[in-house]
A and B are shown apart, each in its own frame.
Chain A
Amino acid sequence: MNKKMSLTTKQSIKGLLFISPFLIGFGVFYLRSLIMSVQFSFSEITIGENGYDTAFIGLENYAEALTRHATFRQVLTTSVINMGVDVFLIIFFSLFMAILLNQKFRGRTLARAIFFLPVILNSEAISVAILTARAMMVGGMSPASADIAAATSTGGVDIMYYVYMFRELGLPIGLLDYVINAVGRINQVITASGVQLIIFIAALQSIPPSLYEVAKIEGATAYETFWKVTFPMVSPLIVTNVVYSFVDSFMNSEVVQLSYSTTFDLYNYALGSVFSLVSMLVVCILLFVVVSIISKYTFYQN
């Protein structure tokens, strides 16, 4: 390159070259699609002979969604609250399990493989196929095998027994509700934390053992070692996992389903794009706030 360029300019050109595939792809596929979605959200769409026609009607669709639509506001609020609760549980659970699975014991490979299974089993194709099969059977004629199918799923714990037991002990109802809610979701939490678990294990593996040696020589207890060595070293990955968990539970949340069904079942493209844009905006703001709070306490080696 020519000599007149300063080092900073050279560096920024190199950096832009490194990210150039992303710039093009984002512009072509995402930015353009988002602009189209925004355009849809401000228009009335009519399906004509040559595809679709759009007519600008201003904020009419937004007014419809935010003031007149029967369920949108309620669904949005519940989805966001559920997301918050789930993300906290998932991060806590996956960090705990990652530390457990990172210790040396017999059958560790097997245990890790088992905890990653939900990610594989979570595929839409499999759940759809099994749901169809079950639905056919319940609507069909063999109740005996429907019973078998119900029994093979793990829903057989009588949770009310424990609820009454703890209420007798005099625990506050609010706390009890939260704990029961969390325990009742254990299946969903485990299913949703496979990816986070792997990320945390990868983080734990990349901590230099010399740090632990130093801690041991200096006489740190296991508790101190966790808070002074393990936790700071995995903290950058906590940010990653929080982002991932938020997005993952957003993808499966009711509000996305609402916008999907509005778009493709009711053919209301305009209202559907309003739903997805508004919910996206809410989640982006929430994510920004949470990540910037966590980033303050994150430790980077440099």
Chain B
Amino acid sequence: MLGNMKERIEQIRSNTWYANEGQRMIRKGAELLLLVFRAVIIVGLSYVILGPLIGIIANSLFSNSDAYSPIVYIIPQNPTLERYRLAILRMDYWNTLRNTLIYVVSLTVIQVFVCSLVGYGFARYNFPFKKVLFAFVIIMIVVPPHSIMFPLYITFRNFNPLWLAGLFTADGRGLSLLQTPYPMYIMSVLATGLRAGLYIFIFNQFFRALPKEIEEASAIDGAGAIYTYFRIMLPNAVPAIITVTIFSIVWQYNDTFYARLFLTNDNIILSRKIQSLQYNIQNLDRVMDPSISQLYVYAGVVLLIIPVVILYVLLQKQFIEGVERSGIVG
């Protein structure tokens, strides 16, 4: 009787052991399957994105003989840095890059600051006509800048805020701000810079999702609106700030539309230089064969995207740390 019991217990034990083992195998198999599935999707889609880029980088390293040789594909036989040397020279790369970065970073700081203020105002305060005013933000997002470019051009051609500038200029028609970087600064300070509507929208959504208790606590402790905003809300908004910063830097860096409209000096806008690069190299350096002169364009493209890629990879780390620091997570 007792032996029988012992045997049965043994049986049950061994059975559960097997069951556990089986479950573990299934779980492991599922994990492995997921891993493979994820790897296949990510690698495959990465190739779709990277394919053209690999072509560009490879082409930028081709020497003349590689460009003419029909058997060279992707991997150059005689790689050369000549394309980069001449592209750097003709784009005046280092000076232009420095100017561009100053321009882009200062505009980004302004954009992040102003748009977060406006987004916060919309998210947390009630005032008359709030819905109408927020509809204006949507309108600003939806209106393509193409449709207002002609009026904008006229505005900055005869820039005359409150008719004050008219007093100091000869014909009373105001200052021309074209060919200077100021139009972009003025528009950014007034929260209408490049895609500012979208940044306001992002900040608004973000602040609305934050718990209201944080501010109530700070108000009870006697903090004013400005203090609350700077010391409580902004530190909590780090993820949104990083997001908007990345967008603003990348778009401002790539923007040619406003640069062309306001005739901004090419020396502070790197992305404009790439468009004239091929003509410059054909005319100044007498590289007349388009199959060779295009290699310089590819080198220029690589030079153009390297700074943004570096900046993005750096900010990516901040992005994750920012979320952990922000205080709402834990």
Contact = CB atoms under 8 A, between A and B. Distances in A.
B271 A125 contact: yes
Interface residues of A, number: 106
Contact of B328 (A151, A202, A208): A208
Nearest to B210: A301
B118 A19 contact: yes
A113 B120 contact: no
Interface string A194-233: 0100110010011011100000000000000000000000
A240 B205 contact: yes
Interface stretch (A6-14, A62-70, A161-169): A6-14
Interface string B32-65: 0001001001100111111111111011000000
A182 interface: no
Given A22-B191, A250-B144, A115 B125 contact: no
Contact of A117 (B53, B291, B297, B300): B53
Contact of A190 (B45, B67, B330): B45
A124 B152 contact: no
Contact of B271 (A16, A24, A123, A236): A123
Interface in B265-300: 271-272, 274-275, 277-278, 289-291, 293-294, 297-298, 300
A154 B41 CA distance: 17
Chain B interface size range: 35 or more
B316 interface: yes
A5 interface: no
Contacts of B137: 22
Given A100-B42, A113-B309, A198-B246, A125 B272 contact: yes
B225 A14 contact: yes
A76 interface: no
B125 A14 contact: yes
Interface of A: 8, 11-19, 21-26, 28-34, 36-37, 97, 100-101, 103, 105, 109, 111-126, 128-130, 132-134, 136-137, 139-142, 144-146, 148-149, 151-154, 186-187, 190-191, 195, 198-199, 202, 205-206, 208-210, 236-237, 239-240, 243-244, 246-247, 250-251, 256, 259-260, 263, 269, 273, 276-277, 280, 283-284, 287, 300-302
3 closest Cβ contacts across the A-B interface?
A15-B125, A18-B121, A25-B190
8 contacts: A12-B127, A30-B143, A36-B150, A112-B316, A123-B304, A126-B274, A145-B291, A152-B56
Interface of B: 35, 38, 41-42, 45-56, 58-59, 67-68, 70, 72-74, 114, 117-118, 120-122, 124-128, 130, 133, 136-144, 146-148, 150-152, 155, 187, 189-192, 196, 198, 200-202, 205, 208-212, 225, 229, 239-240, 242-243, 246-247, 250, 254, 256-257, 271-272, 274-275, 277-278, 289-291, 293-294, 297-298, 300-301, 304-305, 308-309, 312-313, 316-317, 319-320, 323, 326, 328-330
